[in-house]
Structure 1
Amino acid sequence: MLEQRPWLKNYPDEIPSTLTYKNQQVQDYLKRAAEDNPEKIAIHFMGKETTYKDIYESALKFAGYLQEIGIEKGDRVAIMLPNMPASVISYYGILMAGGVVVQTNPLYMERELEYQMKDSGAKAIITMDILFPRVTKVMPQTDLQHVIVTAIKDYLPFPKNLIYPFIQKKQYGIVVNVNHEGNQHLLTEILKQPKRELKEYDFNSDDELALLQYTGGTTGFPKGVMLTHRNLVANAAMCRAWLYKTKPGQEIVLGILPFFHVYGMTTVLILSVMDANKMVLLPKFDAETTLKTIQKQRPTLFPGAPTIYIGLLNHPDLKKYDLSSIDSCISGSAALPVEVQQKFEEVTGGKLVEGYGLTESSPVTHANFLWDRPRVKGSIGVPWPDTDAAIFSMETGEALPAGEVGEIAVKGPQVMKGYWNRPEDTAETLRDGWLLTGDLGYMDEDGYFYVVDRKKDMIIAGGYNIYPREIEEVLYEHPAVQEVVAAGIPDPYRGETVKAYIVLKEGAKVSEDELNKFARKHLAAFKAPRLYEFRDELPKTAVGKILRRALVDEEKKKLNNEQEKRA
């Protein structure tokens, strides 16, 4: 089946099976966009717009300043920012200086931040004023030598820039003042300075690191994924080929997915610049703000995650907003429930399809077709150009035929170089050029792939293998359910038992008994949840992925406490 690559017969004529990749750096896209479209709007941010020329000039100044303070080729520089103009300027500026970007979640607390800075060996970090105290506390324990500070107000139009500090003080309870001196630097001051001549370095896109992107750490300490310029350029080119009906330079891209998540970075930060499209950036997801932004700014491309689409669909005032500008959406980071997909397409008139990938593959490897092909229910789609995929047996490690469940493995130019300073983990995950994803799934006769679950999330109850995603798909069909996650929790008799955590739609009511009857109507008895818990919200990552492992850990803690009390 693999030799035949059955998925290629499904490709529309407009999508080539293989692409040509230039030996170039990611920042070359910004240079070209600024040269070809200098006055084109690159960023809309909270009412203020910035051109490609201005972004490029700012990135050049930032790059020169980094070299001036001692950043050399291969040095790691961290970005700890939400989506804002400074995150675009600093990303491309670090690459121009020859540095390696370390994307860092602004929600990280001191322990998490210290771990990542130590592990990456970052020499400098750019962050927000309100995060400055957190950064300075960890600096003595790390290799950080410089901290560069920016602020939301610096990128707001008048009079918002004057009002925002008061809003920030009310929201966070602090006002931070940083002086541009010593090892503390202000981005506003840096950008007032003249451009410096940049040192030139030898470059090979196959080997040259662009990014250390840390995995979420939901299954242990986060690992730094080494992504090269070649990896990122290749995945962006694949994405452009997949979106063959879009018009470069004419699209408006909604940037809600955070750039510190690899999916947002590739599909918004890199692809938008590659095509000189306009980015509409939001520093965080808020359903009402997003609906207002869509109505006013008229975005056409909307990469997102299921929880974002769910949040919008369940807003009580959804019908008041015009979302008809949205043409194309690829959902990633978690399974997309079919009900959500159908409803979102009804509301917008656009296309929403599920894709698949992981940090280690820059990130996309599969997606459904947006146009010219019928929808395949429940599938993550087919491999992208130049991407091979297979299902390997967990027992023998050999490729399995169509229809059999095993571990999904992928191979292609977007696959990482390896894990930073972790040769054993690299050897375990990369085998003979194949990236073992840790996801269980199967391929059908036509080359469409299906994820049944994470290998580590599979529930084994009474000897049966149970896949949480199957249970969740069923419960999402209940009209009262807004969000659901199923998990295996400790059970003294069955080993594990299935528990469903439910968030209800606003104003909806349903009993545990009613949900149980509904589940058992659609699932075999051994798969149906034995326990239900209703919650106001579910624990999530910054990109909106539900943290199943956090719920399991809660249950284990409860069980341990009960056992200690009995003892």
Structure 2
Amino acid sequence: MHPVDPADTLAPAHSAHVDTFARDHLPPPEQWPELLFDLPGLRYPDRLNCAAELLAGTDPGRPAFHTPSGPPWTYGHLRDRVDRIAHVLTGQLGVVPGNRVLLRGPTTPWLAACWLAVLKAGAVAVTVLAQQRPHELRTICGIARVTHALCDLRSVDDLARAGVPGLRITPYGGDAPDDLLLRITGAPDGPFEPADTAADDVALIAFTSGTTGRPKGCMHFHRDLLATADTFSEHVLRPREDDVFAGSPPLGFTFGLGGLVVFPLRAGASSLLLEQAGPRQLLPAIAEHRVSVLFTAPTAYRAMLADLDGHDTGSLRRCVSAGENLPAATWRDWHERTGLRIINGIGATELLHIFISAADGDIRPGTTGVPVPGWRARVVDAEGTALPDGEPGLLAVRGPVGCRYLADPRQREYVRGGWNITGDTYVRDPDGYFRYVARADDMIISAGYNIAGPEVEDALLRHPDVVEAAVVGRADEERGQIVVAHVVLTEGARRDAEELRVFLKSELAPYKCPREIVFPDALPRTATGKLQRFLLRAEPVADAPSPVAPEGDTSPGGGPK
């Protein structure tokens, strides 16, 4: 093994960042997990720019990104556009290495090119979901001290309404004089010299909801992004240059960022980028574009089973599932209908991508798999002591990527004794396979999306008629869990669930909105006033309206937990 001392990665002299905010707000070294680099492919040079590495070497005439219409972007086209965007960032917009740049928009080649350009310029990418609302965006920008934003014109309004002080928003996809795509026509010709970033300079801040409702910024280095490709992708997925990747998770999730950008580019392959990527869109796209590698959540695989007869899936050779537990029945049904073995996996935004998985003949339906090469895992008790096989406990992992929250005291909860504690309850079987049991916290996982109940409660409490709110997850055959809100209203207020949903859609991304809302007279509490959530989870929902899919919730894919 090649453990890394966190103190060795914090020396400012090695950083290319002029704006040192991200490095200055890394957790103290003693709170870092132990990092392992025991595979030859993980021994990266001290100076490394992830974007430059991903774009290097592939024949410029090979396809990089496909879209539902129009010719593909070749690697040559992609490099030219990335370089032009990087020239605009540094020459016209005043971005310096280390600045945080928000990226927002539907999944398109332009969004991917902006992400690569931000990294190539040495700035820090903060990718968010196009669905997120002003309140959420304002919180994220405040935590990360975001200075600039590149935003699809169709997603600008909510970002502008967020009213982030000092944020410079540059739209793309329109015809205004300040539009990024018009700016790049006047950018210098020729390559952009990549920023001389250190391998351990922060490249990405990915946000994940915590059980307290306040988002946590997960800081990842240039080498971390390559490490996800050089572990799970190289050793489990094993992509080929002629592969076409596609999937449902947006680039705002690290599941999608890895599966649709980092992994295919690292392999010299290509990716089909879909703005709408629910089951109804995926099946025809697979046939039309001869997709060979698919990333989505178990919910989507279950949904696609009903429509398989009308679509050609013969081009598929790899199917990856993450974001929620994959039931053995779904695995077997998919295998029976397609002959394909779904590659199950568990990942985390804190660790970027999948760290336990198995492929081909190593798959054991009903289990997640074994540690990906380069990773270690065990099951521990609350004190961190390893438990024997067969006994449920907390999943603990470590490898080449580790949790580093942005100035967040919850770092001490996630990292204990050098291990990352994911918040999942697992059992290790005697044959070394890890089997999922349940979430160990109050996070709701619905169709692959992580939803913090307290965040939804906070949004409900912003409604003038809501006195109290408690949000819990309830088991659901199709989605794993659904969000159920228990709401106490002011005296005389009308119990109108649809009116509350309309309000919430202006406050939260649609996938976070409750599918069921009930109106008890009071919430169950202990004598000391503590909310008894377990009673809400256990009781049947009465007088609830029929479940209605939140508007815009068309893509069931989610990121690693």
Instruction: Quickly name the TM-score band, shorter chain normalised.
Output: 0.7 to 0.9
- Tell me the CA shift for residue 544 of structure 1: 2.9
Task: Note closer, same or farther for the CA distance 1:307–1:37 as it changes in structure 2 (3 Å cut).
Answer: same
Residue pair 1:487, 1:499 contacting (<8 A) in 2 also: no
Choose from 224, 235, 244 the match for 1:242.
235
Structural mapping, 1:100-249, within 5 Å? 100-139=124-163, 141-144=164-167, 146-151=168-173, 179-181=176-178, 185-195=179-189, 198=192, 201-205=195-199, 207-217=200-210, 219-243=212-236, 246-247=239-240, 249=241
Residue pair 1:326, 1:348 contacting (<8 A) in 2 also: no
Task: Note closer, same or farther for the CA distance 1:245–1:113 as it changes in structure 2 (3 Å cut).
Answer: closer
Alpha-carbon separation, structure 1, partners of 2:548 and 2:336: 26
Task: Note closer, same or farther for the CA distance 1:409–1:72 as it changes in structure 2 (3 Å cut).
Answer: same
Counterpart in 2 of 1:85? 109
Aligned: 1:273 with 2:265: yes
Alignment deviations for residues 381-429 of structure 1 (CA, whole Å, 9 cap, x no partner): 11111211121212x331211111111111111223x11122x222332
Ranked by relative contact order (alpha carbons within 8 Å, sequence separation 6 or more), the top structure is 2
Residue pair 1:407, 1:439 contacting (<8 A) in 2 also: yes
Aligned: 1:429 with 2:453: no
Aligned: 1:420 with 2:406: yes
Task: Note closer, same or farther for the CA distance 1:142–1:314 as it changes in structure 2 (3 Å cut).
Answer: farther
Residue pair 1:408, 1:437 contacting (<8 A) in 2 also: yes
Residue pair 2:277, 2:555 contacting (<8 A) in 1 also: no
Backbone CA RMSD of aligned residues: 3.2
Structure 1 unaligned segments of length 5 or more: list them.
1-15, 152-176, 460-467, 477-481, 501-526, 548-567
Alpha-carbon separation, structure 2, partners of 1:420 and 1:111: 19
Task: Note closer, same or farther for the CA distance 1:332–1:191 as it changes in structure 2 (3 Å cut).
Answer: farther
Residue pair 2:278, 2:554 contacting (<8 A) in 1 also: no
> What SS does structure 2 have at the residue aligned with 1:389?
strand
Alignment deviations for residues 251-284 of structure 1 (CA, whole Å, 9 cap, x no partner): 1111432111001111221010011111111112
- Tell me the CA shift for residue 31 of structure 1: 2.7
Alignment deviations for residues 137-163 of structure 1 (CA, whole Å, 9 cap, x no partner): 334x3331x222123xxxxxxxxxxxx
Residue pair 2:356, 2:368 contacting (<8 A) in 1 also: yes
TM-score (norm 2): 0.73
Counterpart in 2 of 1:439? 424
Task: Note closer, same or farther for the CA distance 1:435–1:191 as it changes in structure 2 (3 Å cut).
Answer: farther
Residue pair 1:65, 1:196 contacting (<8 A) in 2 also: no
Choose from 377, 381, 385 the match for 1:389.
377
**Residue identity matched to 1:304:** T
Alpha-carbon separation, structure 1, partners of 2:354 and 2:281: 28
Identical-pair percentage: 24
Task: Note closer, same or farther for the CA distance 1:427–1:101 as it changes in structure 2 (3 Å cut).
Answer: same
Residue pair 2:249, 2:557 contacting (<8 A) in 1 also: no
> What SS does structure 1 have at the residue aligned with 2:425?
strand
Counterpart in 2 of 1:400? 387
Aligned: 1:290 with 2:282: yes
Alpha-carbon separation, structure 1, partners of 2:194 and 2:215: 33
Structural mapping, 1:363-378, within 5 Å? 363-367=353-357, 369-373=358-362, 375-378=363-366
Alignment deviations for residues 519-557 of structure 1 (CA, whole Å, 9 cap, x no partner): xxxxxxxx9x8568784456698863799xxxxxxxxxx
Task: Note closer, same or farther for the CA distance 1:320–1:18 as it changes in structure 2 (3 Å cut).
Answer: same
**Residue identity matched to 2:81:** S
User: Which stretch of the first structure deviates more once superposed, 88-97 or 213-222?
Assistant: 213-222
> What SS does structure 2 have at the residue aligned with 1:302?
strand
- Tell me the CA shift for residue 217 of structure 1: 4.5
Counterpart in 2 of 1:56? 79
Q: How many equivalent pairs are there?
A: 448
Structural mapping, 1:3-22, within 5 Å? 18-21=39-42, 22=44
**Residue identity matched to 2:310:** K
Counterpart in 2 of 1:41? 63
Aligned: 1:258 with 2:221: no
Task: Note closer, same or farther for the CA distance 1:534–1:329 as it changes in structure 2 (3 Å cut).
Answer: farther
Alpha-carbon separation, structure 1, partners of 2:532 and 2:405: 34
Alpha-carbon separation, structure 2, partners of 1:194 and 1:491: 64
Residue pair 1:491, 1:497 contacting (<8 A) in 2 also: no
Aligned: 1:544 with 2:556: yes
